[in-house]
Chain A
Amino acid sequence: MSIPFLYFLISCGEKESDSATLPPEDTSEEINNYEPSFEVEPSNENNEAFDESPQQVLNIQHAGIWNLSPAAGPYNSMYGELNIQELINGYTVVPYCDFTFGVTGYVAENICDTCDFGFSIDFFVLEPEPPDEETEEIIIPEEFPQAEDISECFSPELPHHQETRTLAYSFADEMLYFNYYNTDIWVPWYPAVFLNDTLEVFYQEEVGFFGAGDD
């Protein structure tokens, strides 16, 4: 048996005798980092407000008219549409996302404390209407991505096709509240205006946009 091999065996034997469960002998690392681990760059010399702007923005718009019945209430059902549109950098010719939900709802008994009426609403994605024969087809360049399915839209927490959600309306806040996934926690969802047995839903945001991804 060669000497190096013997030495190897001895080394292994010593290692095995170490305690596997005991902590390391001593890390003894001096840690004196009491400062923030992430530094803020100084603002400009004049100490004026500074603000980085997103390189790209996504314009999000959810809008629709919901009809309530019976007329003058108290309401026990509703129907309408909700159009979901997302534009990258405001480019309107080719929206990144353009889908329409059909919505139908029946009165919900459990509504938020500050709300006046509410519905359990079914959301279903409507098939896009075929273009008129006379309309010239727009050829979309590859550099303009388009969502092929509503799940590819970037608006956070959009309903899925055939999802049911409970929303309730507050006259005072002019706001539709969402019973967050039926948890009895009500969060503000869509601004909406009540007028003549209709709710006009209009939600708009402009947010920073990282990109649509490679696919």
Chain B
Amino acid sequence: MISPMLLISVLVSCEEKKEDEVTVEAYVPPQELELPSLDGIDVNTAFTEAITLVGKVQLNPAWKGNREALSYKRPSCPDIYVGMTDDIEIPTNGVIWNDFCNTGTGLEFSGYTAWVGTLEQSGDIESPEGNIINGTRQMSGQALVRVSGENIYEFKGTGQDALYRVQAPNYDRWTYSATINGTIQGSQANGEDAGFRSDMYIYATGGDANTLEARGNVFWKQHRIQNRFDSAAMDILLVDPASAGPDDCALEPKGWIGIRDENSFWYDLVFMPMDAEDDAGYEDEDRSQCDGCGTLYLRGNETQAYGEICPDFSSIWTETLIDLPQAEDFVFTFQQAQNPEQ
């Protein structure tokens, strides 16, 4: 005899199965991803421009903006601080302004900025040994400086950079690295529309061999690449074809770069793998060939709807790709901040 409990259980199961049953009428096939139109967009150039702009994601704008803002300092506005506190992040031996004030001339300081720079410089640029510059900078802050409603300097987050450069007659060799975790913008920082929010790390070499490594994300507050793309994300290594070694691919970089349009579509262009072991996602050899072209992914799906994407990065290697700081840019002392009129 079947137990009543078991019978009830079976009936309930059947009922549940009936409810879950998918009928032919109710089936809705997965919708095909509607590809955004890129009419009027030069996709190749857009990727190239993204790399050019990423070269500007460095500490210089924040350092310059802070220094320029403090050139308008008045006694006690803003106040320069020393001492130790757990409330704000201060680089070791850093100088700090911290205030919420009006200079009386229309300039408003609010928040804080802490900074420290180190510099070693030796040698003569005209000598065979050359001139050597070794500088570092660190900043942290949550600062906004405005005049008449215009935002002249805004820095929120942390940043650091380092330059090592050797210059001698007919010789120039430098390495520069920067990490920005935060927002930098303002007319005295990076100009009217070049403000950004970023967690980007860049490492560049130049002089005798140009390379650029970039890893992270950047969102431009106002600037749009080809009036369309507001962000870039990447993990990429580019080598100047003019300085590529025999084992380097001069036609295309390694890694990937993504640009995002304002409708939140990411266009990810994947090139050769970063290193020999890092070959996941390259199921066939065609995708990892040194052919100057990348594989385009849209929302994670490979697409060839926009044709071959083969950006020419050879044009990025100009002297303005990285705004190299000069030796004096690493020096901003307590006295200079406190007494800008000197």
Chain A residues within 8 Å of B, Cβ to Cβ: 18-31, 33-34, 36-41, 43, 49-54, 56, 58, 154-157, 175, 180-185, 187-189, 205, 207-213
Contact = CB atoms under 8 A, between A and B. Distances in A.
Contacts of B84: 210-213
Given A38-B142, A50-B100, A185-B121, A22 B264 contact: no
B336 A185 contact: no
B67 to A, nearest CB: 13
A189 B299 contact: no
Given A21-B279, A36-B151, A185-B328, 13 more contacts: A20-B280, A23-B297, A25-B299, A38-B111, A38-B142, A38-B156, A154-B83, A180-B333, A181-B119, A182-B121, A182-B122, A207-B80, A208-B81
A187 B266 CA distance: 48
A212 B121 contact: no
Contacts of B83: 56, 58, 154, 208-213
Contact of B77 (A43, A51, A183): A51
- A56, A156, A182 — which one has the most chain B CB atoms within 10 A of its CB? A156
A187 to B, nearest CB: 5
Given A34-B221, A50-B100, A51-B99, A207 B79 contact: yes
A172 B99 CA distance: 34
B273 interface: yes
Interface residues of B, number: 72
Interface of B: 76-77, 79-85, 87, 93, 95, 98-104, 108, 110-111, 119-122, 142-144, 146, 151, 154, 156, 183, 185, 197, 219, 221-222, 230-231, 233, 235, 255-256, 258, 260, 264-266, 268, 270, 273-274, 278-282, 297, 299-300, 327-328, 331, 333-336, 338-339, 342
Given A37-B154, A211-B83, A188 B342 contact: yes
Given A39-B144, A183-B119, A210-B84, A22 B300 contact: yes
Nearest to A180: B331
Contacts of A24: 300
Given A54-B81, A207-B79, A187 B144 contact: no
A58 B82 contact: yes
A23 B270 CA distance: 9
A19 B81 contact: no
A26 B119 contact: no
Contacts, number: 170
A188 B222 contact: no
Given A21-B256, A49-B104, A208-B98, A37 B297 contact: no
A157 B333 CA distance: 8
* Interface secondary structure of A, over-half rule: loop
A26 B281 contact: no
Nearest to B95: A156
Given A20-B280, A26-B299, A37-B197, A183 B327 contact: yes
Given A38-B143, A210-B83, A19 B101 contact: no
Contact of B268 (A20, A22, A188, A213): A22
A155 B335 CA distance: 10
A106 B299 CA distance: 70
B283 to A, nearest CB: 9
Contacts of B300: 22, 24-26
B264 A21 contact: no
A66 to B, nearest CB: 19
25 contacts: A20-B278, A21-B281, A22-B300, A23-B258, A27-B264, A29-B264, A31-B231, A40-B146, A49-B102, A50-B100, A50-B102, A51-B101, A54-B79, A156-B93, A156-B95, A180-B333, A183-B331, A185-B331, A188-B335, A207-B82, A208-B81, A208-B98, A209-B83, A210-B81, A210-B83
B266 A38 contact: no
A190 to B, nearest CB: 9
B221 A53 contact: no
A18 to B, nearest CB: 8
A156 B76 contact: no
Nearest to B230: A31
B119 A21 contact: no
B158 to A, nearest CB: 14
A209 B84 CA distance: 8
A156 B280 contact: no
Closest 5 CB pairs of A and B: A19-B281, A25-B300, A210-B83, A210-B85, A156-B334
A8 B299 CA distance: 27
Contacts of B279: 21
B21 to A, nearest CB: 22
Contacts of A28: 264-266, 299
B280 A21 contact: yes
Contacts of B268: 22-23
A187 B280 contact: no
